[in-house]
Amino acid sequence: MCGIAGIYRFGHGTTDLSLQEAVDFMTDTLGHRGPDSRGTWVDPAAGVAIGHRRLAIRDLSPTGHQPMVSSCGRFVIAYNGEVYSHLEIARDLAQYGRHPRGTSDTAVIVEACAEWGVERTVQRLIGMFAIALFDRERRELILIRDRLGIKPLYWGLFDGIFLFGSELKALRAAPGWRPRIDRNAMSAFMRHNYIPAPHSIYQGVSKLEPGCLLRIGPGGAVTHSRFWDLRTIVERGIASPSRARDEEQIEQLDELLGDAVRRRMVSDVPSEPCCPAGSTRRWSLP
């Protein structure tokens, strides 16, 4: 688990603190998410500051430090999560002469965005992720959330200042913003025992919905797009049901589950035993 946070100032959105100071306040609230290191990237001319708190899982060396800049210098990324398809993506990037620095999945993601574009890259990401990506060429900030919304990501636009963070406490720490309770969200919580996305407990703060991509340019215009939708997947399955026999479907499911588990067992840190002492496993993987 890592934590990301950031600010994009444009127009008349200013505070008495520098971007560096502001993003430091925000990332300090996320120390529990990333105890291994803290990093920031600031571009005062563009009005952007991106912060990261790291829990090192892949590439424990300094080459895995975030925020990370692509080798061409165009993209800056801060990322929370794990992408289990990064080895295949790295092999394909090598065919284009692009070699990520280090062995982290972060380096693979940012280089893939530089080579193929954001939309094409996101389609290849298998895993859980909340990504903040700044396109220095277009001065565009891009937020991306994984297909099922496993990793959290909040955002809000207030008087010329765009804020984002892994947790609401990061936004609350941003200088110049005073949170106000959204009474409609409170009513939803009392009714459902949770606040449905895209709403949050605060007025003007939204959860980025699962499978969504948000862009905000230097003029402050926010656009959303959806790169994956569960409803669409279900509708396709109903429209074109599988004709395979039960045995074939069981084999396909076993193969998919085995592949998913193997991908998630890759780590550069020691793993803890998954079974209590004295217990036995019910399955094994080659």
Number of H helices, E strands in the chain: 8, 12
The pLDDT of residue 10 is: 82
Burial of residue 26 (CB within 10 Å: 0-12, 13-18, 19+) is: buried
Helix 105-116 vs helix 86-94: crossing angle, to nearest 10: 50
Per-residue pLDDT, 35: 82
Query: Closest Cα partner for 2 from 30, 22, 43?
Result: 30
pLDDT (0 to 100) of residue 176: 85
Q: Report CA-CA distances (Å) from 177 to 19, 61, 72, 160, 240.
A: 14, 36, 35, 11, 50
176: left (phi over 0), alpha (psi -120 to 50) or beta: left
| pTM listed for this prediction | 0.87
Tell me the CB-side half-sphere exposure of residue 191, using CA atoms within 13 A.
8
Which pLDDT score is estimated for 65?
A: 84
CA distance 6 to 52: 9
Among all chains, which residue has been given the structure tokens 């009392």? Answer: 190
Residue whose pair of structure tokens reads 């069981």 in the numeric block: 250
pLDDT by residue, tens only, the chain of 286 residues:
799 999 999 865 455 568 999 999 999 999 999 887 789 999 999 999 999 998 766 656 677 788 999 999 999 999 999 999 999 999 999 999 998 888 889 999 999 999 999 999 999 999 999 999 999 999 999 999 999 999 999 999 998 899 999 999 999 999 888 999 999 999 999 999 999 999 999 999 999 999 999 999 998 999 999 999 989 999 998 999 888 889 999 999 999 998 888 887 776 555 555 444 444 333 333 3
Active site residue 274: no
Give residue 15's pLDDT. 52
pLDDT value for 269: 55
